[in-house]
Chain A
Amino acid sequence: MTTPREAAVSLERLMVRYGHATACEDVSLSVTRGAVYALLGRNGAGKSSLVRCLLGQQKPTAGRAFLFGEDVWKRRASLMARVGVVPEEPDAPPAMTARQIADFCRRLYPSWDQAAVNQRLERFGVPTDVPFGKLSKGEKGEVMLAVALGHEPELLVLDDPTLGLDVVARKALYEELVGELADRGTTVLITTHDLSGIEGIATQIGILKDGRLVLDEDAETLKSRFRRIRYGNQMTETRSAYGTELDVFEAVKVKVRGWGVDAVVSNYDDVSFERFRQTDGVVDAEIAPMSLEEIFLAVAGEGPAEKAIGAQIAKGASR
């Protein structure tokens, strides 16, 4: 855990409550500089509230949010000079054209690269003299991104930037993002549903479930400890039931099928698997790696049955 001084983003026990409804609770996370943090969660899991608190746009009910070590609620105006924001709903005034938006922002930042902004807009193919309200969803997002990057921010916050974008627009967005990472090592916090798209780019993964951060981990480590294990069980009467043989792997989700057991485990290692394979009664054991999407579904999937498992996963993450 990096100290707030070093982290680009640091949330300390953040809680957001609206009346009786809790949007997020006891969320603590840290985004190191240069990292790409992907915050995943189902709709209504509390991502938007969290992002608003993180940007100093809303005061959390409890806890604090820091950017570059400074309390963002108190120092929002000065901190925003170092942050680029691409909101979930593009919020530029509908009557302004892209040119006017860029002109508006140009006056607000000490450093502004208008040429780069123009280049980006051209690359995206966005018309610069059409009122913002008349642009397509994708074009709007592209304008917001171009403008967000115009002042060369140290931190880029994107709230579900690919929502409603087609494949081409999505690819353009990721290209732009990667280019930014390569050129400036920008820290990125991105909330998204496009898990496959972000998979290669994210260095840190956080999963928000029912307002709680159930997983907060380095991407590579996460991928390495999750596996899907399929096998047949001859220890019991039927091939399909399972007993304690999976315990060592800390199974997250176990499905019993006609041919055998299909388990998602969160604590995999090769040695244990070899031992597992040798276990009496285990037949046809095979493993398969899991994509980020599959991990997310397993962790943040449906309902109360998985609540207890969330605690287990969090335990596993502290290795």
Chain B
Amino acid sequence: MRGFVTVARREIAENRMALLAALIAGMSPIAVPIVRNFHGAHASEERSLVVFFAAVTLAAGLSIALGFSTLSQGISNRQIGFFFARPLSSLTIWAGKLTGVAALALAAALIATLPTLLVNGGNLQMPFGWSLWLFLALALLLIPVSHALSVLLRSRSALIGADFLVFGLAALVVALAARPLVRAHAVIALRWGLIGVAVIVWLGVLAAGYRAVARGRTDIRAAHRALSPVLWSAVLGGALLFAGYTAWLLAATPADLQGAWGTFSSQGRYAVLSGELRHRFDYRPHFVVDLRNGRFLKIHPTGSAFSSAAEKMIWIDERDGELYRLDLASRAWPPQPTRIILSSRWGSLALSPDGERVAIVESSFGKRSISAYEVSTGRLLAAASLPDKSNGRLCFVGQDRVRVYAGNQFAAPTELFSVAIWELDIPRRRVDRVGELGQIRRRTLLKVSPAGDRLLALDRPTGAVTLADARSGRPIAAFPPASNVAKRNARFLSDGGFVLAEVLGKSDARLRLFDRDGGEFRTIALPNAFFAVAGEEVAPRRLIVVCRDRELANWTTQAVLLVNLDTGEVREVARGLHPVGVWAEWMGDDPSHFSLPGSDATKLFYAAAGNSLVYFDPLTGERHAVLGPHRP
């Protein structure tokens, strides 16, 4: 210990000129505001900024310069023998000198901050709230790195070629392993991985530097020969561990999902799910999942669509903008490229009910166009430009026609505008404007009835609901905002009619039933609800409604009610569940999406407890987890 202290003190004494330089450098933060004519708090801030950079630069500069010279120069000029001829172990010499350099660099940095500290009255505001200590510590970490580098360079040995080869190889491994993470925008995951590699490499550099001193002693070439193997192990080891880490990261399965959400097929058997993955930071891939048997496929979509009648789906790959298709019923699940490439990675798309045709609205160079392709061959069936410079919500009407409800994405949120209704006739290859829908805002939800003939426009902020003809946009019935109606939402029923869920005041809610022409025929009261949303039919004429009965309640305690539309009976069947269809509606915007009554799609809920996806049949009470930590 004594030897260590003696060596360290000597190293500091040897380079004490640096402290003088630090004091001089410490004057610059004082001078700068004076030169720039700042005063008061502004000057104080300026000084802090300058001193921060001065101190960190000083610490880093000294760390690099002294780290480079401290041990290796002694070998080159044969002065290191002085230490090796004393009863000092290699560890003492190495640690003592490096610690001396560290102490000196740190002291210099702190000395540089003293004048500013005095002038600022003991107040140093670090830029961006960064910690000065953290950056000084990072600067000091350069010391062993600089030392190792000096051994590599001063030895003038051909071995350095091998060193660089190894570095290059490791960098290549890291770059290749990092690529999928970069594409998946998993920045935090990447960051932690790289930090891990950096720590391993730094530790390796430290150990390698020690070994160089312990084995090389007065011979710089022997030092290099001793240093390289340790360095290579650390660098390659770190790279391989990083590759393993990324591989593990990428090997996530739906079972790792904590709190999945996504879109579901109309029957509810398949879903495209995403969400936070356990221990995977911000790596959030999407999974196509067969909820019945757990089979899954990882995809990177910017948009996806299920076919309503057949078990097929398509998605747009975010990496290259190509459309991929998947035959969900097939035994294997190879994603098949369709050779349909979108001009940009985003676009609205819709899949025909049989999954054989896809319609895409794209915009390129300010022009919008709609195209229809045959999915299996990629053949263009029809294409036309859409005069409106606006977003389109698409839905297929049968196999041959695609309706586009062209909105206005540039409108202000509260601005009212008209939506033009266009229809693409695929066999005839033409697009015609068939109607217009008025009184629409940007956030208005559009739903098309299962038969495709009626349309509900639901203005979420005001609660205004309009029933219109799906093709012409001619209003059939209107439900403007009423003073006693706090919230309103609407849903089509399987028989073509629709239901309005209205919240009146703070604890009163009701369901109003209408026929397909907007004729009201029944009202059902809902108990104690300040929030009520109509869900889907778990069986024909049996509707799920979610209610919250307390002001500050959220979905984790909300009640799930089963309403018999024929008898008006209302029964609470569960708590803390949220129907996936209602969620999808909030998040996505497919006007034609309709879950078949009684299908699994109507019985899938997000459960607050355990962040899982559950299957719950309110009629039978059967309940089991589909995904999440409590999977059976």
Contact = CB atoms under 8 A, between A and B. Distances in A.
A in complex with B:
yes
A125 interface: no
A58 B84 CA distance: 10
B122 interface: no
B439 interface: no
Given A52-B218, A59-B215, A91-B79, A80 B85 contact: yes
B217 to A, nearest CB: 5
B82 A57 contact: no
Interface stretch (A2-10, A30-38, A62-70, A101-109): A101-109
Interface string A64-103: 0000000000001111110101010101110110000000
Given A77-B87, A80-B87, A58 B217 contact: yes
Contacts of B222: 58-59
Interface in B174-191: none
Interface residues of A, number: 26
B81 interface: yes
B219 interface: yes
Nearest to A109: B87
A213 interface: no
Contacts of A91: 78-82
Given A91-B78, A107-B6, A57 B14 contact: no
B88 A108 contact: yes
B3 interface: yes
A100 to B, nearest CB: 8
A56 interface: yes
A55 interface: yes
Given A57-B218, A58-B218, A59-B222, A108 B78 contact: no
A57 B6 contact: no
Interface string B64-83: 00000000000000111110
A104 B215 CA distance: 25
B86 interface: yes
B156 interface: no
A31 to B, nearest CB: 18
B219 A58 contact: yes
Contact of B87 (A52, A59, A89, A108): A108
Contacts of B81: 52, 57, 85, 87, 91
A81 B82 contact: no
Contact of B84 (A55, A78, A89): A55
A107 to B, nearest CB: 5
A89 B84 CA distance: 14
A56 B93 CA distance: 15
Contacts of A104: 6, 10
A111 to B, nearest CB: 11
B336 interface: no
A77 B219 CA distance: 17
Nearest to A85: B85
A109 B2 CA distance: 10
Interface in B1-36: 2-3, 6, 10, 13-14
A59 B212 CA distance: 13
Contact of A93 (B2, B10, B215): B10
Contacts, number: 68
Contacts of B78: 89, 91
A107 B6 CA distance: 7
B89 interface: yes
Contacts of B219: 58-59
Contacts of A58: 217-219, 222
B217 A108 contact: no
Nearest to B222: A59
A87 B87 contact: no
Contacts of A95: 13-14
Contact of B2 (A81, A83, A89, A107): A107
B154 to A, nearest CB: 16
A96 B219 CA distance: 24
A96 B84 CA distance: 17
A101 B464 CA distance: 93
A307 to B, nearest CB: 29
Contacts of A83: 85
Interface string A251-281: 0000000000000000000000000000000
Q: Which of B6, B85, B88, B217 has the most CB of A within 10 A?
A: B85
A55 B219 CA distance: 13
B2 A57 contact: no
A56 B222 CA distance: 13
Nearest to A92: B82
Contacts of B90: 77
A149 B495 CA distance: 110
A79 B80 CA distance: 17
A57 B85 CA distance: 8
A57 B218 CA distance: 6
A78 B87 contact: yes
B619 to A, nearest CB: 82
Interface in B84-100: 84-90, 92
Contacts of A76: 84, 89
Contact of B14 (A78, A93, A108): A93
B86 A105 contact: yes
A85 to B, nearest CB: 4
Contact of A77 (B79, B88, B218): B88
A56 B89 CA distance: 11
B89 to A, nearest CB: 4
A105 B83 CA distance: 10
Contact of B86 (A59, A93, A108): A108
B37 to A, nearest CB: 43
Given A89-B78, A93-B10, A107-B6, A57 B84 contact: yes
Nearest to B219: A58
Contacts of A87: 81-82, 85
A76 B6 CA distance: 18
A108 B82 contact: no
A77 B89 contact: yes
Interface in B216-268: 217-219, 222
Contacts of B87: 77-81, 108-109
A187 to B, nearest CB: 16
Interface string A98-141: 00000011011100000000000000000000000000000000
Nearest to B91: A77
A108 B2 contact: yes
Contacts of A96: 10
A15 to B, nearest CB: 15
Contacts of B89: 76-77
B80 to A, nearest CB: 8
A215 B199 CA distance: 56
Q: Residue among A58, A83, A92, A109 with the most chain B CB within 10 A? A: A58
B86 A80 contact: yes
Nearest to A90: B82
Contacts of A81: 87
B16 to A, nearest CB: 9
Nearest to B90: A77
A220 B186 CA distance: 83
Contacts of B86: 80, 105, 108
Contacts of B82: 87, 91-93
Interface centre among A78, A81, A85, A91 (most CB of B within 10 A): A91
Q: Give the 10 A-B residue pairs with the shortest CB-CB distance, closest first.
A: A81-B87, A85-B85, A77-B89, A91-B82, A80-B87, A57-B218, A91-B79, A107-B6, A91-B81, A57-B84
23 contacts: A55-B84, A55-B85, A56-B84, A56-B217, A58-B219, A59-B219, A59-B222, A77-B87, A77-B88, A77-B92, A80-B84, A80-B88, A81-B87, A85-B85, A87-B82, A87-B85, A91-B79, A91-B80, A93-B10, A104-B6, A107-B2, A107-B6, A108-B86
Interface of A: 52, 55-59, 76-81, 83, 85, 87, 89, 91-93, 95-96, 104-105, 107-109
Given A77-B90, A95-B13, 11 more contacts: A57-B217, A58-B217, A58-B222, A78-B87, A80-B84, A80-B87, A80-B88, A87-B85, A91-B78, A91-B80, A93-B14
